[in-house]
């Protein structure tokens, strides 16, 4: 072996060593000590909030925080430094080896289960932080996004979502007036476009309303709440108003699913407990109109950031499915190769994921938690979806490699998520954070 070959080999060994050390750090994180993006899976008491300290990070939504990390300052800093130091030197060959244990088969340890929500959105320290941010005369949205990324307390979620989407203004003095005006505008839209006879609609509008009427009863069919006639009527009004006001796309099947998290969250201001015990007939028409208006405007704000997902041929979704395929190939080449060898196209299963944002794939009681992260991402959401869905798919990495084409199709259409809890969802999000951190600053890793 000549000196040049020896130097190359030494460099490769060094890179592999650094890369493996990074993976060990990450695997330590995933065992419950501290999860990126402030997702913590073990109980802990927050140290005092040093509000005067100035810590800035361009990736504030998922950055480490000394106040929120469950490890020591030294540990979290070392891990963050390791991520940064490996983001550029990792070669494509090494990047393709990136694979943490993605199997969620079997039951987590009992102590892991018992720590479910204690250190996340429901502990008193986090509630106090949300209260502090929300009580200001002007809400600092960057701070709110940072907190919301790892979960929002249930009773604060309606207010937080309105703010994150830009529907409610951060200035508290203007908030009530803006909401009143927007709700009246929605009411005018319903009066002008929905509460009219079919003879005053175009043929396209009649067909669109008919399709919405067919899809509403099919929305989240496994949750009895959505089978209430009043709920389906509200969905129909919201969807028709949105389609009329967005003629470039009109109504597209799948958008009906996207209304459901908003409807449940804004109804939660009036109901408690199991949503299947809620009845919209208990609410006045004015309250129902306000809830529908909030759903309509929040849906509009969400879809403004992904307009080409629902225009003709849905090119935005097709583009993201291609990115997902490339990312999976870099992260878990054996799974990618097996899917390709079996002749299965990513569009055949992942299109629905992007179209409905996983609402049809995981239990509905986890959806609002997932959407906390979605809305905290803001304009960056479409690109981050690729990482979330890669993490979701590779949850079953070992299983997928054992299935033939027909079995793959059946498995991916009926994923075994019915017994998922918050732990499984947090694992998906934490892997997505890790891969985004490692790949996002090195786009050449995803070059075709």
**Number of neighbouring beta carbons within 10 Å of residue 10:** 10
What integer pLDDT is reported at residue 134 of this predicted model? 97
Q: Which residue has the higher pLDDT, 438 or 350?
A: 350
Q: Which two tokens stand for residue 318?
A: 């097709």
| DSSP-derived secondary structure for 178-224 | HHHHHHHHHHHHIIIIISS-GGGS-HHHHHHHHHHHHHGGGSSTTSG
pLDDT at 206: 97
Query: Quick check: 163 pLDDT over 50?
Result: yes
DSSP character at residue 402: T
CA 290 to mean position of chain CA atoms: 25
- Contact status, residue 307 vs residue 374, Cβ threshold 8 Å: no
Residues 275-305 have pLDDT tens digits of: 999 999 999 999 999 999 999 999 999 999 8
Q: 38: left (phi > 0), else alpha (psi -120 to 50), else beta? A: left
Whole-number CA gyration radius for the chain: 23
Q: Are 268 and 154 in contact (CB under 8 A)?
A: yes
- Mean pLDDT within 75-91: 35
User: Is residue 319 over pLDDT 80?
Assistant: yes
Nearest CA among 357, 386, 369 for reference residue 423: 369
Higher pLDDT, 64 or 238: 238
Q: Which of the two residues, 398 and 21, has the higher pLDDT score?
A: 398
Strand partners, 138: 171
Q: In order of start, what are the domains of the chain with their CATH numbers? A: 13-156 (no CATH), 172-304 (1.10.8.270), 315-446 (1.10.472.80)
Give yes or no for residue 18 having a pLDDT over 50: no
For residue 83, give the nearest of 27, 23, 150, 133 by alpha carbon.
23
What's the pLDDT score for residue 122? Answer: 56
The Cα angle at residue 18 between residues 13 and 21, in degrees rounded to 5: 125
Q: What pLDDT is attached to residue 69?
A: 33
> For 426-448, what is each residue's pLDDT tens digit?
999 999 999 999 887 765 555 44
The residue that leads in pLDDT, 169 or 13, is 169
Q: What is the residue-averaged pLDDT of the chain?
A: 80
Instruction: Report the predicted TM-score, pTM, of the whole model to 2 decimal places.
Output: 0.75
DSSP result, 62-95:
G---TTT-SS-HHHHHHHHHHHHHHTTT--HHHH
- Supply the DSSP string of 111-149, one letter for each residue: HHHHTTTTTTTTSHHHHHHHHHHHTSSB--HHHHHHHHT
Q: Give per-residue pLDDT as tens, 108-139.
A: 444 333 334 434 545 789 999 999 999 999 99
240, 194 in Cβ contact below 8 A? yes
391 token code pair: 């993490």
């Amino acid at each position: 072996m000549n000196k040049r070959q020896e130097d190359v080999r030494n460099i490769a060994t060094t890179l592999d060593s650094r890369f493996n050390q990074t993976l060990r750090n990450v695997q330590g994180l995933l065992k419950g000590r501290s999860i990126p993006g402030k997702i913590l899976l073990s109980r802990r008491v927050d140290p005092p909030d040093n509000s005067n300290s100035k810590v800035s990070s361009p990736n504030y939504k998922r950055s480490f925080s000394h106040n929120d990390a469950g490890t020591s300052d030294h540990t979290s800093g070392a891990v963050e430094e390791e991520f940064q130091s490996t983001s550029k030197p990792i070669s494509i060959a090494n990047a393709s080896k990136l694979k943490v244990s993605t199997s969620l088969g079997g039951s987590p340890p009992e102590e892991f289960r018992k720590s479910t929500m204690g250190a996340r959105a429901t502990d008193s320290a986090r509630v106090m932080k949300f209260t502090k941010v929300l009580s200001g005369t002007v809400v600092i949205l960057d701070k709110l996004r940072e907190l919301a990324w790892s979960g929002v307390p249930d009773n604060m979620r309606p207010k937080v979502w309105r703010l994150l989407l830009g529907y409610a203004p951060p200035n508290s003095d203007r908030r009530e007036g803006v909401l009143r005006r927007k709700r009246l505008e929605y009411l005018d839209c319903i009066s002008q476009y929905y509460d009219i006879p079919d003879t005053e609609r175009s043929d396209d509008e009649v067909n669109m309303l008919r399709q919405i009427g067919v899809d509403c009863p099919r929305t989240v069919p496994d949750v009895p709440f959505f089978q209430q006639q009043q709920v389906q009527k509200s969905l129909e009004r919201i969807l028709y108003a949105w389609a009329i006001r967005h003629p470039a796309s009109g109504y597209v099947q799948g958008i009906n699913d996207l209304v459901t998290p908003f409807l449940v969250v804004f109804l939660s201001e009036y109901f408690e407990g199991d949503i299947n015990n809620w009845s919209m007939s208990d609410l006045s028409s004015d309250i129902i109109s306000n809830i529908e208006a909030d759903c309509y405007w929040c849906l509009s704000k969400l879809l403004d950031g992904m307009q080409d997902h629902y225009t003709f041929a849905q090119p935005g979704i097709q583009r993201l499915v291609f990115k997902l395929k490339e990312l999976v190939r870099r992260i878990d080449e054996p799974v990618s190769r097996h899917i390709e060898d079996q002749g299965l196209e990513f569009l055949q299963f992942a299109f629905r994921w992007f179209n409905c944002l996983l609402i049809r794939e995981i239990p509905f009681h986890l959806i609002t938690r997932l959407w906390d992260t979605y809305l905290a991402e803001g304009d960056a959401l479409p690109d981050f979806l690729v990482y979330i869905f890669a993490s979701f798919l590779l949850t079953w990495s070992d299983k997928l490699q054992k299935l033939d084409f027909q079995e793959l199709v059946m498995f991916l259409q009926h994923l075994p998520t019915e017994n998922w809890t918050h732990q499984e969802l947090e694992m998906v999000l934490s892997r997505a954070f890790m891969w985004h951190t490692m790949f996002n600053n090195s786009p050449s890793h995803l070059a075709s």
